[in-house]
Amino acid sequence: MVVNPTYKKYQINKAGYSSFAEFYPFYLGEHANRTCRRLHVIGSTIGLSLMAYLLFMGYYMFVLCGLIPGYAFAWVGHFVFEKNRPATFKHPFYSFAGDMCLIYEVYTGQRKY
């Protein structure tokens, strides 16, 4: 079952999140705009592909450069289309995990793109 399929907005938990399962519905609510979600999927796909390529080619020093297109696309989605601040600023690890879950759900057909 897909969590928060309608991308309902959730208030941020000011006390913090004790688990990713608690954070993920909030994360999805911050991605209600379809263009923002699409930019996340495109940017993360490019970023992960770049990271895989750099690893495969042995350019280990540059692997983290794959994060640049992922975050660039995502931040454009947030600032231009969603008109909110990316959750990355307050919850970087949960946000990265949220991106990966969103991509997985899109590519496996569990979530509309």
pLDDT digit string, tens, across residues 12-26: 898 899 999 999 999
Token readout for 32 is 């209600």
**Residue whose pair of structure tokens reads 């231009």 in the numeric block:** 80
pLDDT at 32 > cutoff 90: yes
pLDDT tens-digit map of 65-101: 999 999 999 999 999 999 999 988 889 999 999 999 9
**Cβ atoms within 10 Å, residue 105:** 18
Report whether pLDDT(113) > 90: no
pLDDT of residue 90: 87
70/113 Cα distance (integer angstroms): 17
Q: Look up the pTM and report it.
A: 0.90
How much of the chain exceeds pLDDT 90, in percent?
88
